[in-house]
Amino acid sequence: MPGPVLVPILGDQLTRDLASLRGRTKDDSVILMMEVWDEATYVRHHKQKIALIFSAMRHFAEELRDAGWKVDYTKLDDPDNAGSFTGELARAIERHDPRLVSVVEAGEWRVRQDMEQWADKFACEIEILRDDRFICTQAEFDAWADDRKELRMEFFYREMRRKTGLLMEDDGKPTGGEWNYDSENRKPPKDGLAAPERAKFAPDSVTQEVIELVGDRFGDHFGSLDTFGWPVTRDEAEEAADAFFAERIECFGPYQDAMVAGEDDLFHSMLSTSINLGLLDPLELCHRAEQAYRDGNAPLNSVEGFIRQIIGWREYVRGFYWHQMPHLQKANALNAQRGLPEFYWTGDTDMACLADCIRSTRDNAHAHHIQRLMVLGNFALLAGIDPREVQDWYLVVYADAYEWVELPNVAAMILYADGGKLASKPYAASGNYINKMSNYCAGCTYSPSKKTGEGACPFNPLYWHFMDRHRERLEKNHRIGRIYATWDRMGEERQRDYLDSAESFLETLEPAGAGWARAD
Ligand code: FAD
Ligand code: DLZ
Ligand code: SF4
């Protein structure tokens, strides 16, 4: 009798519509799911991230068993656990003697490299299938990217709109006449702006068990477990999506770039963890958003904005990652060398905006996009923090972080470390931007209107310090180069004030040292 087909399913592949399950029969297949030490510790992930992934994996295994599949599941505390995907696969091959191992390609370079060794390591046939949960294939992305010097998301996004037909009219024109309503996504928060609370899910016994395991084994990792409320099953994720479409999508568009102290989710969908795990289908969400617009239940700027984030940015960064790996990991076009300040881990800083974003990150394993980009990211860019340290931080702290999505956002979008392939200019901003788009400054010891010296918002001198030290490169950039006329008009004394203020501030930064993100 030939052995069964062994189907390994990784922690971010939790859908029954996975390519490796399609066409399989239940009596001829064994599904393999593995909690492994290597994945839980290659960086010291936020506790909620590990709890979320293990709980969602355990629930998905139950769902498969209830549907009649045979599931072989190794828990982290299984005494024989080999600690790695390859080690666990070897043990499973011994147990089941499969005729074929059929697996969907891993989302991350690190794991895909290991997977590609499996055919040489194991005697049985190994089949690695394309992950067709993405709308754009890598071949399509590469064909689009290969003859371009600059890879702008906007043009890629238009291709995805045409491909999916989302927000497209019969005459081939975009709905509403414009491709992009970004200019209607920048409303500053009005006083007292608050959003309905997102759907949170009290841990059931499976999640509770995992929370205890994580507290026990990873108790010294960053972050809190007390506030865990992520959806861990498809039903819960759908309930969270229902709540977003019923209560928050209307204001999602206008307030997409707004920040309010203590309003951690604002009008964002909070669905990235579920989408990335496989609990929600991104294309289905986009169709739902479009329907909400067509039914008159949500404005076009909200719906287009939401769809752009998913079929635009999400698809684009995934294509960009595989197009630019492995060198993207080491890219450092601006030669940034400073260590990550310790306050990124402790939240102990007088800068109210950073303190609030880090608090939300610690409590929720989440911060919304503009906090990640224009507060946490902007500071790392202006202060010249080493990209490898910033990459590690973002990979550790967010429950939705996988390298394929984290790395392009960090290295290319916030740090300009790719030298401008992804972004047409660095997302550098002074305190003025944060003051306009948030209420943080009202509760800060620093003043955004003070430019230099004691009490000045540190973003102000840091902005000019950054511009000055990268003049040679940025002066040629048509989107930012004109700023140097303003700099030159200031005169030497004023310029010196800015540079001295920035340098005095930079001297006060305590580097975090080793051990926070990766084990020593
Ligand atoms: P919403 O604001 O409701 O957006 C809807 C969806 O669009 C998100 O769920 C997400 O799937 C997608 N999306 C939006 N922006 C992006 C983007 N720039 N790249 C990819 N997808 C996007 N997102 C991750 O999923 N994992 C990460 O590790 C991650 N790291 C980031 C690091 C930095 C420096 C920055 C600037 C952004 C990062 N993002 C990451 C993108 C974005 O911040 C999160 O997807 C978003 O905050 C998740 O919250 P939400 O579901 O409420 O998103
Ligand atoms: C992030 C993560 C963690 C913490 N643990 C596991 C695990 O034990 N088992 C598993 O299958 N997946 C885990 N994951 C998600 C994986 O890192 C992710 O599926 C792949 O690395 C994608 O390349
Ligand atoms: Fe942040 Fe500067 Fe505003 Fe303080 S004054 S909250 S540091 S932008």
Give the mutation target among 9, 10, 394 for probing the ligand 2 site: most ligand atoms within 8 A of CB: 10
Q: What is the mean pLDDT of residues 347-376?
A: 98
Q: Is 237 helix (H, G, I), strand (E, B) or coil?
A: helix
Is the pLDDT confidence value at 1 over 80? no
Tell me 348's DSSP state. Answer: -
Query: CA torsion 138→143→144→147, rounded to 10°?
Result: 140
Residue nearest to atom 38 of ligand 1 (CA): 409
The per-residue pLDDT of the chain, averaged, comes to 96
What pLDDT score was predicted for residue 185?
Answer: 87
Residue nearest to atom 34 of ligand 1 (CA): 410
CB of 50 shorter than 6 A to ligand 3: no
Question: Of the bound ligands, which one is closest to the alpha carbon of residue 460?
Answer: 3
The pTM of the full predicted model, rounded to 2 decimals, is: 0.98
The answer to whether residues 386 and 338 touch, using CB atoms and an 8 Å cutoff, is: yes
Q: For residue 84, report the distance from its CA to the centre of ligand 1, in Å.
A: 28
CATH fit for domain 5-129, picks 3.40.50.620, 1.20.120.790, 3.40.50.720, 2.40.50.140: 3.40.50.620
What pLDDT score was predicted for residue 148?
Answer: 86
The CATH architecture assigned to 343-506 reads Orthogonal Bundle (1.10)
CA–CA separation, 177 and 175 (whole Å): 5
Nearest-atom index, ligand 1, CA of 414: 34
Instruction: Take residue 44 and report the two structure tokens written for it.
Output: 């010291």
CA–CA separation, 371 and 230 (whole Å): 20
The answer to whether residues 518 and 392 touch, using CB atoms and an 8 Å cutoff, is: yes
73 forms beta bridges with: 33
What pLDDT score was predicted for residue 406?
Answer: 98
| CA 327 remoteness from chain centre | 19
Structural domain boundaries in the chain = 5-129, 138-198+248-323, 343-506
Is the pLDDT confidence value at 171 over 80? yes
341 forms beta bridges with: 511
| CA 145 remoteness from chain centre | 22
CB of 321 shorter than 6 A to ligand 1: no
What pLDDT score was predicted for residue 513?
Answer: 82
CB of 440 shorter than 6 A to ligand 3: yes
Tokens 């980009």 locate to 373
The CATH architecture assigned to 138-198+248-323 reads Alpha Horseshoe (1.25)
Nearest-atom index, ligand 1, CA of 368: 47
CB of 309 shorter than 6 A to ligand 1: yes
Give the mutation target among 198, 358, 400 for probing the ligand 1 site: most ligand atoms within 8 A of CB: 400
Question: Of the bound ligands, which one is closest to the alpha carbon of residue 281?
Answer: 1
Higher pLDDT, 88 or 150: 88
pLDDT digits (tens, 9 = 90+) for 390-449: 999 999 999 999 999 999 999 999 999 999 999 999 999 999 999 999 999 999 999 999
Element at 125 (helix H, strand E) = strand 125-129
Other CB atoms closer than 10 Å to residue 498's CB: what's the count?
A: 23
Give the mutation target among 7, 9, 12 for probing the ligand 2 site: most ligand atoms within 8 A of CB: 12
Instruction: Take residue 410 and report the two structure tokens written for it.
Output: 């960090």
CA–CA separation, 346 and 496 (whole Å): 32
Angle at 404 between CA 5 and CA 249, to 5 degrees: 105
- The radius of gyration of the chain's CA atoms, rounded to the nearest angstrom, is 24
Q: For residue 448, report the distance from its CA to the centre of ligand 3, in Å.
A: 6
Nearest-atom index, ligand 3, CA of 352: 6
CA–CA separation, 444 and 430 (whole Å): 15
Percent of the chain scored above 90 by pLDDT?
Answer: 96
Question: Of the bound ligands, which one is closest to the alpha carbon of residue 458?
Answer: 3
